[in-house]
Structures are given as C-alpha cells and as structure tokens.
Structure 1
Amino acid sequence: MKTERLLGIIMILLDRKQISAAKLAEIFEVSVRTIYRDITSLSEAGVPVTALPGVNGGIQIMDHYKIDKHFFTSTDITSLLIALESLSSNVSAVQANQTVEKIKTLVPAHLSEEIKLKSHQIAIDLTPWTRNQTLQPFLETIKSGIEKQQLLRFDYSDNQGKKTLRTVEPYRLVLKEISWYLQAFCLEREDFRTFKLSRISHLDLLAKDFTPREFHPTPLGKEPFYGKKWTTVTLKVTHRVRDQLIDKFGQLDFIETQDDDKTIVSFPFMEDDFGYHLLMGFGNQCECLEPNHVRDELKRRFEELLHIYQN
C-alpha cells in the first residue's frame, strides 16, 4: 500500500546515496510515474528528497536527514506492529513481514522489550474459518491494478445471479466483516461502484493505464441496515445463540427462563431475506415468540425448505 511504499522508499534512500526512479519502480512493482508522485508526497511531508536529471541522475535524500526514533512513542510503534501483523494473513505475508522489520528499526533500544511485550498482548486474526482459494490471487491482482493504475476486467454476478462484464478503474479494497469489496469506477455504468469479491470471476489485469479521477471513499455498511424499517421481535434462544446475538448487535436485555439453557430477548429485526436467513440459521436453538406475522413467515420458509428435502 502507499504508506508502506513511502516508508520503504525512505529506508532505501537512507541506505543508498542515490537510486533511479526506474529501479524504485522495479523494486516496488509500480510505474515510474507512481514513484515520482511518491517523491512529491514525501517532499510535501517535509522529507528532503530530490530528483536529479540526466544520465547520472537519480533520486536522493539529503545526507543529514534521518528518522528520529524518539519521534514515535512506544504506543505508536506498538499500534503499527499490531496493525501490520494482523494484515499478514490477508495481504502478501512477505510484504507485510518486510514492513514489520522496517518498523522495528525505529524502536529505541531501551524500549525494545516493552514494545515486544505490548505488541503480543493484542492479536487481530482476520483469517476466516474457511479458506477461499481464489481470494489471495484476486487481492494481489487488484492491489497491482490500484498501485500501477491499470484497468481491471471481470465478470460480475449481482444478487439475482445476473452476470455482466465490467471494466473498472480500481481505487480501494475494503474488508468488511469476513468479506472483501472493491471500490472502483465502472466504465460500463460511468459511475463509482462497489463490487463484492465473492461475486467476481475471470479477473484480469489489463495492460492499459488510467488517469485517476477524484475519488471520495465512502463507508461500507450492510445494505439491509440502512433506510429500512425495523421490527422488534421476541425470541427464545439458547446461550449459544445469545453469544452470537451479542457479537452482532451488542449487549441486549436477556430475561432468564425456567429452562436453564434458554433466555428470552427482544431486538430490532429487519423483515427481509437477510433478517429471516439470520434467524433460520440458528435452527432449533431459536424460537420466534412474537410478532405472529414474523413467526408465520418463518414457518412458511421452513416448510418450503422441508418440501425440498421430502421430494
């Protein structure tokens, strides 16, 4: 990602007296144009980087410049290490580990043991329970398209199963819960769109650059929770389902029953496929007590499901 690349460029320039933009582009697998934009970003941030023209020219950093290790607190560096190590399961492990090692060079000697201890006190494991074999190659291809500013082409299936061919300018990858999304400008729709990676197939990186548009990242939310009406439902659930409801909706008011394994809870329910699939997924560990029309709809859906297996 750009932040890691900028830090990597600084480390290389501190280690070498001078290097060409073409060589940096080769190291970071981006275009020379992207490297020059990075150099501009570093200059604007106050890093004394210059680009010298000519055959013997190249990019260099002023001799007196160094990163002050005391600029970062132990909390700063701990937060960086936790965040980067949590990404290693979803991005290139080699890339993430290299960045972690670079961050560790910023650690003052007298804080190294403290930071090592703190960085192991919190672990963020973003790895899903089941592994999607096509996800990692897709992520790498999309990351390459974003960094090199090259078009992507893929088949996309909507929630009705309709498949369309899309050509897009990729701008941002988003991990929401266990699903990855691509925010991009769709040339077919002539507008920005968000694509769920699990609905993408036949993904190709095209050898065609694009000029970036003005992109404003938008928060990604579960569509059923926005702009629709909630219904309060009362459920009788097992303690296992209770834990799952707390994970999804936070602390709720649970009322104990005479059955030690069951509690009663009321919570906001969305009357659509997402909401009904959620309740049905709890199986015989959840009973909807009220309202009656939600209970009746659940019965109807379960009867349809049973009919499939009776034939």
Structure 2
Amino acid sequence: MKTERLLAITMILLEKKQISASQLAERLEVSVRTIYRDIHSLSEAGIPVTSSPGVNGGIQIMDNYKIDKHFFTSTDLTSLLIALEGFSNNVSPIQLNQTFEKVKTLIPIASLDEIKFKTNQIAIDLTPWTSNHTLQPSLEIAKSGMDQDRLLRFNYEDNHGRKTVRIVEPYRLVLKEISWYLQAFCTEKTDFRIFKISRMTNLELLSATFTPREFHPAPLGKQPFYGKDFTTTMLKVTPKIKEQLVDKFGQLTLFPSDDPEKFIVAFPFMEDEFGYNLFLGFGNQCECLAPPHVRAELKRRIENVLALYQTP
C-alpha cells in the first residue's frame, strides 16, 4: 500500500504543481504525519520533492521532473477508467481512490471532456443482485495477506460438506462470474489449492509471514464450454428462458412452434450435473422435447424431487 501511495503522491504533484500536506492527507485518507514520512521517502528515492512553509506554501516537485503523459491514448485511458469503475464495489475505497488519482493525472487537459463523455457511455456493474455482507471483509483480509506475505487461517467447507481448518499462503484472488476464489499454497496439503471465499468462515490474518514461492496461476473450475462434446437438445421455452440462454451461450437456432407464446430452440447440452440442474432450474418454462434419453433422465430427476414432498 505504501508503494502505491508514493506513486499516487508523485502523480498528484506532477499535475497540481503545489499542494498542502493536509490536502494530500485528505485525498489519500492518511494522516499529515504519514504524508511527511512519504515525502521524505520520495526524496531519499531521488525524486526532487520540496516543501515551503507559510500560507502560500506547500509541497511541490521540480518542473523538470516529468512523466510522458502521451504514452497512453485517449482510448487507453477511457478503458482504464471504465474497468476501475466496474471494480469499484469489490476494491477498498482507499486503494481505488489512489488508483483513480494516478490514472486521472495522465489525462491531458484538452482531452478531459472527451474522456469523461466516453467513460459515461459504458457502465460495468459486477455486483450481484443479492448481497453477501461477509464478502468484502474477507476480500480485504485476503488482500492484506498477499500484500504483507502473511499466512491466513480459516475454517473451510468443501462442496461435499467436509469441514477442515486451513492455513495457507495467499497468492491470487480470482472473480469467476459472481464468485470470488483464492488461489493459495495450503500448508496441510503442501500444494497449491483453490478456495471459494463464500465457503470460508472465521478468516483471520496471522502474524506469521512466509517467503513467496514460485506461483503459476491454475485454470479455475471447468474448461470452457465451447469445443467440448455435447448433445443437441430441442427445447420448448418461454421468451424469458430464451433470453437467458442467449445471454449465457450466444445466439441459438430457432424453429417454428405450435405455441405462439413459446420458442423451440436447438441447445448444445452437456450431459452432467451442471446441465441437468440448469434445465431443472427453469421449472415449467422449459420442456425438453428431444432426445428421448435426456427427456427420460429429466423426468426421473423430477420424480425424485416430487417424492421428497410426498413423504409424510
């Protein structure tokens, strides 16, 4: 965090020419004493930062110390700002504000209005429809572990209901669709593992540190759907379900239906738990017409669910 803050201060000084320590402290949400320590660190690193006392004084950087702002095009800067805005609900406000400050200082004054207009044309909202109030604190703890090379301990329940206590070296956070995952080295298994954040409880940051080892990011979950073997199914669906299928899998082939309020679509179906649960989740808004063995398996599963509610 200190390294990011030092860079943010440098970029602000390059843009503002002169600014008071109290203004810097307010913008970066730290104390004035921390700002003065940071200024001292910048001076020791060879960056020509000076400060002057008095009402009209402040902190400034020498005019001949410049970073080329033309390295990024307007399109580059627009893309960066849109991406940052999309993650605004998943990153700590302090960290995000510092990153915004760095990017904004790269925008030429003549391009400010153009980039603001383009940035407002696209909005990325990655927040789920329902809220998990424990998610953000867990992400912050995991991020602190990665930043400080400190071990994490948590209770974990896998997808089979097995409960364990894990101590791990955190290396990477991954957002997959609506779920967050932690890629870490498990001290119990002495190997890298992937943990779903929502399955963690009692997550804590330990005082013990670790020496980062060589880390190679692993693929998360299943391989991409496309390119695999699948079964072509014929489905009769409502407009709502057709829209959901198109959103998730792309445009589908449509066929005439005897019901004017429904569609018949050819759908590439994976014959596994994910595929069958997907169909069953559509309820009475989706009927599998073919092939016969998929229709029979769906009927069997529906009967098993019905039996649960028929038992006294």
User: What displacement does 1:12 show?
Assistant: 7.0
Once the two structures are superposed, residues 81-131 of structure 1 have per-residue CA deviations (whole angstroms, 9 ceiling, x without a partner) of 111111111111343133223321221111110000001011000010000
Matched with 1:112 is 112
- Kindly provide the amino acid, as one letter, of the partner of residue 179 in structure 1: S
Consecutive unaligned residues of structure 2, counting only runs of 5 or more, are: 19-28, 31-39, 49-61
Residues 185-204 of structure 1 mapped to structure 2, 5 A cutoff:
185-204=185-204
Q: In 1, Cα distance between the equivalents of 2:77 and 2:165? A: 44
Per the alignment, residue 90 of structure 2 pairs with 90
Residue 46 of structure 2 aligns to a residue whose secondary structure is strand
Q: For residues 163 and 140 of structure 1, do their structure 2 counterparts lie closer, same or farther at Cα, with a shift above 3 Å needed?
A: same
1:166 Cα deviation after fit:
1.1
Going from structure 1 to structure 2, the CA distance change for 1:129 and 1:137 (only over 3 Å counts) comes to same
2 CA distance for matches of 1:3 and 1:121? Answer: 32
Give the conservation status (yes or no) of the 8 Å contact 1:13–1:60. Answer: no
- CA drift of 1:51 comes to 7.7
Distance in 2, Cα, partners of 1:300 & 1:266: 22
Aligned to 1:209: 209
Shift of 1:231: 2.4
Rounded to whole Å, the distance in 2 between the matches of 1:244 and 1:5 is: 43
| Amino acid paired to 1:209 | T
Indicate the residue corresponding to 2:35 in structure 1.
none
Percent identity over the alignment is: 65
The Cα shift of 1:310 comes to 2.8
Corresponding position of 1:19: none
Paired letter, 1:289: L
Instruction: Report if the CA contact (8 A) 2:77-2:107 is conserved.
Output: yes
Instruction: After TM superposition, list the pairs within 5 Å mapping 1:49-198 onto structure 2.
Output: 58-61=44-47, 64-198=64-198
C-alpha displacement of 1:234: 1.6
Query: Which amino acid letter does the alignment assign opposite residue 95 of structure 1?
Result: Q
Question: What secondary structure does 1:61 align onto?
Answer: coil
Question: Structure 1: 5+ residue runs without aligned partners?
Answer: 17-26, 29-49
TM-score by length of 2: 0.80
Secondary structure class of the residue paired with 2:248: helix
Q: Report how many residues are paired.
A: 280
Query: CA separation in 1, counterparts of 2:227 and 2:156?
Result: 25
Would you say the 8 A contact 1:238–1:262 is kept in 2?
Answer: yes
By how many angstroms is 1:216 displaced?
1.6
Cα displacement string for residues 3-57 of structure 1 (whole angstroms, at most 9, x for unaligned residues): 95674364378689xxxxxxxxxx99xxxxxxxxxxxxxxxxxxxxx989xxxx8
**Of the two, which has the highest radius of gyration?**
2
- Judging changes above 3 Å, is the alpha-carbon distance between structure 1 residues 281 and 78 closer, same or farther for their aligned structure 2 residues? same
Find the aligned partners of 1:196 and 1:242 in 2 and give their Cα distance: 30
Coordinate RMSD, CA, aligned: 3.1
Distance, in Å, in 1 between the alignment partners of 2:2 and 2:192 is 21
- Equivalent AA in structure 2 for residue 196 of structure 1: K
1:310 aligns with 2:305: no
Amino acid in structure 1 at the alignment position of 2:261: D
SS at match of 1:215: coil
Say which SS state the counterpart of residue 96 (structure 2) adopts. helix
Tell me how far 1:211 sits from its aligned partner: 0.6
Q: Alpha carbons of 1:237 and 1:6: their partners in 2 closer, same or farther (altered >3 Å)? A: farther
Cα distance in 2, alignment partners of residues 217 and 157 from structure 1:
23
Residue by residue over 1:181-215, the C-alpha shift from the partner in whole angstroms, topping out at 9 and shown as x without a partner, is 11111111111111111211111111111111111
Which segment drifts farther, 108-117 or 300-309?
Answer: 300-309
Say if 1:172 and 1:182, in contact at 8 Å, map to a contact too.
yes
Shift in Å, 1:275: 1.1
**Is this contact kept in 2: 1:13–1:61, CA < 8 A?**
no
